[in-house]
Structure 1
């Protein structure tokens, strides 16, 4: 993944003012139970997916600490989320097109979404 950032150095840290994702153009990030994204062999995972030519594929996947909480960061184009992992079907977020963070919980075989907000 390539990003472009604007900001300034403050002491030993960097204060981020703007972040632009340069490549890949269409991607999504998911953290939560593997079963929610058709990855049942993982109790919990972090998953990055990319979309190219209408096909979604896994860019990276790694195990994560167990839990029922779900985090999704994806681009909402006003009609649909782009590059969603298999099995994940969040509702329309009720936001303008742009990057969206979704927070939810996985119980009884499905994700219950609690909130969506612009990201970052």
Structure 2
């Protein structure tokens, strides 16, 4: 991955408390896995930045190298890679995702 793409990815992660690299947009996801993670964040009412990896092939490939994770979507919270779709779904279901958001000072829907 070239330095320019690495910087673009780092800027997205560093400048947004919650950043989701996904296929498509939250309003028009282009894959079911991206839609699932986006919907979980909507349910929790979390403000997040989405990055549509389909708009730039170098970001699409670069994020996989950056995180050493082979799939998209990828969720970052406070600069930390949290996981992909299966991990996020499991963390949501067991309450761990909400706890991480709270622990990191990210406002989400209160039960």
TM-score strictly above 0.5:
no
The alignment's TM-score, normalised by the length of structure 2, stands at 0.25
Give the structure with the higher percent helix: 2
The alignment's TM-score, normalised by the length of structure 1, stands at 0.24
State the structure with bigger RCO (CA 8 A, min sep 6), 1 or 2.
2
Find the structure with the greater CA-based Rg.
1
Give the structure with the higher percent strand: 1
